């Protein structure tokens, strides 16, 4: 009887220890997934745009690596409260890539990137080569610089060199941010087959 009681205590102790270890593990994963970290995955498409044969785009999609999907563009699980934090970086980067593909490199594009993160500064270097609508070969090196220091839902990252963008992109960016009050740029409408 005493052996059975001791065995039962040992079994219950092991079960409780396993439950405690599982709870601690889940807690650690939750805390890490909810943390704001500017990890990134590669994106290789532009929604609503079929690239010309031979064209490629490769640009970063930022988020916590525990919550972003492979290929970017979506989040899942814990940390969803940080979507706006990552959006403050992802939206300008994606918009600039779309602008290049739809407006600048109409004849075809090859775009790649590098990312630098130093302290509270995140820099995305976009490098693109291709042909414009007249068939002329051109290349572009564009830096998008963001202040991500202490980034949180209450302290969104700031695009610090936004004013360095060319005027056509600024017009497009203004439209994206004010679609109900700003007219769609002609070139953007035409890329969707909309005649103005």
Express as a percent the part of the chain with pLDDT over 70.
Answer: 86
Interatomic CA distance for residues 155 and 127, integer angstroms: 29
Inter-axis angle of helices 167-177 and 83-99, to 10 degrees? 140
pLDDT of residue 53: 80
The single-letter DSSP state of residue 135 is S
Q: Cβ distance 31 to 64 under 8 Å?
A: no
Interatomic CA distance for residues 169 and 173, integer angstroms: 6
Band of residue 49 on the pLDDT scale cut at 50, 70, 90:
confident
- DSSP bridge partners of 114: 125
Q: In angstroms, what CA-CA distances link 187 with 3, 51, 120, 162, 176?
A: 83, 17, 36, 21, 14
Residues in the chain: 196
φ/ψ bin of 72: left (φ > 0), alpha (ψ from -120 to 50), beta (otherwise): left
Mean pLDDT taken over the chain: 84
pLDDT at 69 over 60: yes
Interatomic CA distance for residues 14 and 147, integer angstroms: 48
pLDDT at 113 over 90: yes
- Retrieve residue 99's tokens: 């602008």
pLDDT at 153 over 80: yes
pLDDT at 110 over 60: yes
pLDDT at 80 over 90: no
φ/ψ bin of 191: left (φ > 0), alpha (ψ from -120 to 50), beta (otherwise): alpha
Q: Cβ distance 157 to 121 under 8 Å?
A: no
């Amino acid at each position: 009887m005493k052996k059975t009681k001791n065995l039962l205590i040992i079994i219950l102790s092991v079960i409780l220890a396993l439950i405690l270890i599982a709870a601690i593990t889940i807690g650690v994963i939750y805390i890490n997934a909810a943390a704001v970290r500017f990890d990134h995955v590669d994106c290789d498409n532009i929604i609503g745009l079929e690239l010309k044969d031979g064209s490629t785009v490769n640009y970063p999609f930022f988020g916590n690596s525990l919550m972003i999907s492979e290929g970017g563009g979506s989040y899942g699980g814990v940390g969803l409260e940080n979507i706006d934090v990552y959006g403050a970086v992802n939206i300008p980067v994606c918009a600039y890539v779309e602008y290049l593909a739809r407006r600048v490199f109409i004849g075809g594009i090859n775009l790649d990137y590098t990312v630098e993160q130093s302290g509270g500064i995140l820099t995305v270097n976009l490098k693109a080569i291709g042909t414009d609508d007249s068939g002329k070969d051109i290349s572009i090196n564009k830096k998008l610089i963001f202040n991500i220091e202490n980034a949180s839902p209450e302290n969104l990252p700031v695009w610090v060199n936004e004013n360095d963008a060319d005027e056509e992109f600024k017009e497009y960016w203004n439209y994206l941010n004010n679609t109900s009050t700003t007219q769609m740029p002609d070139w953007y409408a035409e890329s969707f087959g909309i005649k103005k």
